[in-house]
Amino acid sequence: DTGVSQNPRHKITKRGQNVTFRCDPISEHNRLYWYRQTLGQGPEFLTYFQNEAQLEKSRLLSDRFSAERPKGSFSTLEIQRTEQGDSAMYLCASSPTNTEAFFGQGTRLTVV
């Protein structure tokens, strides 16, 4: 399967704990995006990488959130000191150009 892969698929954590999600994009795609989706809403942009450079971060991304894409390959999204409001589906997408994106299946985070 050469699609976008996200791990884990589900994560339950206690409030205040740190969590890290991983995204493996389609190998030849140099653009990588993170979005967050809550129930009944569309995906909201969080951050964007072109190769290893983080080119844009949403104002939604508080300082508890950090993303990396070392060597322009896989990416990680870390949330520190999780809060109940962080519960959502976290979607990763990759793209070879600035047009359509290819999404992974997402990581569902539940903060209890």
Partner 1 sequence: DQQVKQNSPSLSVQEGRISILNCDYTNSMFDYFLWYKKYPAEGPTFLISISSIKDKNEDGRFTVFLNKSAKHLSLHIVPSQPGDSAVYFCAASFTNAGKSTFGDGTTLTVKP
Region for 103 from its dihedrals, namely left if φ exceeds 0, alpha if ψ lies in -120 to 50, beta otherwise: beta
Nearest to partner 1 of 45, 80 (CB atom): 45
CA torsion 56-60-62-65 (nearest 10°) is -60
Q: How far is CA 8 from CA 12, 18, 50, in A?
A: 10, 14, 23
Residue list 72-101, contact with partner 1 (CB under 8 A): 91, 93, 95, 98-101
CA torsion 60-70-21-85 (nearest 10°) is -10
Nearest to partner 1 of 19, 46 (CB atom): 46
Residue list 17-36, contact with partner 1 (CB under 8 A): 31, 33, 35
Nearest to partner 1 of 82, 95 (CB atom): 95
**Of 67, 86, 104, 111, which one interacts with partner 1 (CB under 8 A)?**
104
Residues lying near partner 1 in the complex (CB under 8 A)? 4, 31, 33, 35, 40-45, 48, 50, 56, 91, 93, 95, 98-106
